[in-house]
Structure 1
Amino acid sequence: MRTEDFQLISSILKERSGLVLTEDKVYLLESRLTPIARQKGMETLDDLINEVRLRRKEDLLNEITEAMTTNESFFFRDNTPFDHLRDKVLPELLGARSNVKRLRIWCAAASTGQEPYSIAITLKEMQAKLQGWNIEIVGTDLSQQVLEKARAGLYSQFEVQRGLPIKMLIKYFTQVGEMWQISEELRNMVTYRPFNLLDNFSILGQFDVVFCRNVLIYFDQATKTQVLDRIRSQMPEDGTLFLGAAETVLGVSDKFKPVAGHRGMYMTSDAPALRKVG
């Protein structure tokens, strides 16, 4: 791929999604965009890039952006955040919100739904403690295509084998042909909506817990800071943020601080002094 072609596509991706594409990822451009070229009746990827350069059609730019920002996901990824949610975050919030009995949890870049459904399963397993509570899980993603799959809650054998305990599969999924579908009750626990992390966060409302895992690694430093600062603006002072294992707020944002002994978990920097001690 010519340098000018790579620069054109990478600049479009950066502008529309925040994704920073380095030149060692040329293979991703070729593997993910060539099928789009063929769907459009074009012979080569060069034809697709020329079309972008000449016309900049919005629907085509959307397709390219979605193709490049679709990332893999699997159930209970890394396990630890879900353990922390169950054992530490939720018990604290249940005490702090006992008067209103309402919580909101946001999964940014929810992809095909495995993360929000992992949270839903975690909550379902705690249902005896959550009687009378209104808990909303919101999953967002840039890609309409992955959100449609998430809403359907339909997964292949390979997908359910990745991270999902067999007892959870049997308890919460039904086999549909060669696929597995998560129960309607759990599907109804999650609301999916399209959202770009470069957009205005205020339309989403406030969240007590935010999962923004394995997303920041694709952004440059300035975009990481902006996203973290915007997340903080949508959280109360006792909110909790979960990031991916390879991500951190250190040197990026002063709006959050790590929770000692809880990898990938962060509290707001102005949280009450007694919070999360121990």
Structure 2
Amino acid sequence: MALEDASHQIIADLLEARTGQTLTESRRWRISTALSGLFREFGIENVDQLACMLERPGEHRLATRVVEALLNNETYFFRDHAYFTTLANTILPELAKRRADSRRISIWSAGCSTGQEVLSLAMTFLEQPGRWADWKIEILGTDVSTKAVDQAKTGTYSQFEIQRGISVAQMLNFFSETPRGWQVSPRVLEMTRFEQRNLLDYPPSPGKFDLVLCRNVLLYFDPETRRRAFDRLHGGVANDGFLMLGAGETVVGQTDRFEPSPFGSAMYAPKGASDIGAVLGTMPPRVVNG
């Protein structure tokens, strides 16, 4: 194995050990690009020098910075808008029926990056004030990146970030311009909380969420790690709750913990739940998409 290949392997092993994400051969081209800022900051000339530094004792801070730089934190408000339409018009009304007694809904966004998905969910509820009056809505966002979670907690976004997925009306209704950037309204933030957490750890408190979103995260895992992730997600979803995955992800052939839900593509239910039986009398037959 060439020296550079061995160095790439050390960095890939570090990322996998810390996050579970696999840096495949086809993705290793981006290592130097993703770490270019770190190279300048630490005076590092190439990946071989970085690998040598990472092998030294006491380089925990540098290792953390490397992992943070390699993580893909791409996100934006209302990403894949059709999914949020499905949530607003189908999934949330169904949860309202199932939680009519408690009038409480808890949601977990796993792999929330810098928080746009979580805030988009909060805005979805706030845009339907009549339906959700007197309800307790709790939305938790978790991500393995401390840097991303720290930004999410501030609720402050640049002009570029605020323009991605947000309409002018939503921007004016839910954000205010400040010297630091666009600040989300307190009424949005108060519905949310953020934690740094690895998806492969045990589900966060309170567990058994009514809805879990884990979009565009599992595709970075190898099959065995993906199965472990599904086990963790299963432990975090209520028996009659929902799991939403990304467009390029599915449970089919990946896990026996979940099955497709008839409530829409990308929607899944815990295996054996009464999800399908509950809707046979209320919904017309349809093809279940995996």
TM normalised by structure 2 equals: 0.90
Structure 2 vs 1, CA of residues 9 and 142 (structure 1 numbering), >3 Å: closer, same or farther?
same
Does the CA contact (< 8 Å) of 1:259 and 1:276 recur in 2?
no
Q: Is the alpha carbon distance of 1:76 and 1:101 closer, same or farther for their aligned partners in structure 2, counting shifts above 3 Å?
A: same
Pick one of 96, 105, 129 that aligns with 2:107. 105
Q: Distance in 2 between matches of 1:213 and 1:107?
A: 8
CA contact (8 A) 2:4 2:48 kept: no
Matches within 5 A, 1:219-234: 219-234=221-236
1:81, CA displacement in angstroms? 2.0
Partner of 1:91: 93
**What residue number does 2:268 align with?**
266
Matched-pair contact (CA < 8 Å) for 2:153–2:194: yes
Runs of 4+ in 1 over 3 A off after TM superposition: 41-45
Partner letter of residue 214 of structure 2? Answer: C
Amino acid at match of 1:172: F
Tell me whether 1:124 sits opposite 2:126 in the alignment: yes
Identity among equivalent positions (%) equals 36
Q: Judge conservation of contact 2:91–2:263 (CA < 8 Å) in 1.
A: no
Inter-CA distance 50–134: structure 2 relative to 1 (3 Å threshold): same
Q: Quick one: distance in 1 between partners of 2:103 and 2:56?
A: 55
| 1:40 to 2:65 alignment | no
Contact 2:200 2:232 in 1 (8 A): no
Residue matched to 2:288: none
Equivalent position SS for 2:28: helix
Q: Structure 1 residue 93: deviation in Å?
A: 1.4
| Paired residue type of 1:111 | S
C-alpha root-mean-square deviation of aligned residues, in Å?
A: 1.8
1:127 to partner: Cα distance: 2.1
CA, structure 1 residues 202+195, in 2 after alignment: closer, same or farther (shift >3 Å)? closer
Question: Which is bigger in relative contact order (C-alpha 8 A, separation at least 6)?
Answer: 1
| Cα distance in structure 2, aligned partners of 1:68 and 1:120 | 29
Give the TM-score taking structure 1 as reference length: 0.93
In structure 1, the gaps of 5 or more residues are none
**Contact 2:8 / 2:47 at 8 angstroms: preserved in 1?**
no
CA contact (8 A) 1:81 1:265 kept: no
2: CA distance between counterparts of 1:176 and 1:27?
A: 38
Q: Aligned residue for 1:153?
A: 155
Shift of 1:41: 3.7
Match of 1:275 in 2: 278
> Structure 1 259/78 Cα, relative in aligned 2: closer, same or farther at 3 Å?
same
Distance 1:196 1:204, change over 3 A: farther
Distance 1:203 1:96 in 2: 21
Q: 1:205 aligns with which of 199, 204, 207?
A: 207
Show CA shifts across 1:17-68 (max 9, x none).
1111112223321112232233234344432221112336222222211211
Give the paired residue count.
Answer: 278
Using the TM superposition, give the Cα deviation of residue 190 of structure 1 relative to its aligned residue in structure 2, in angstroms: 0.9
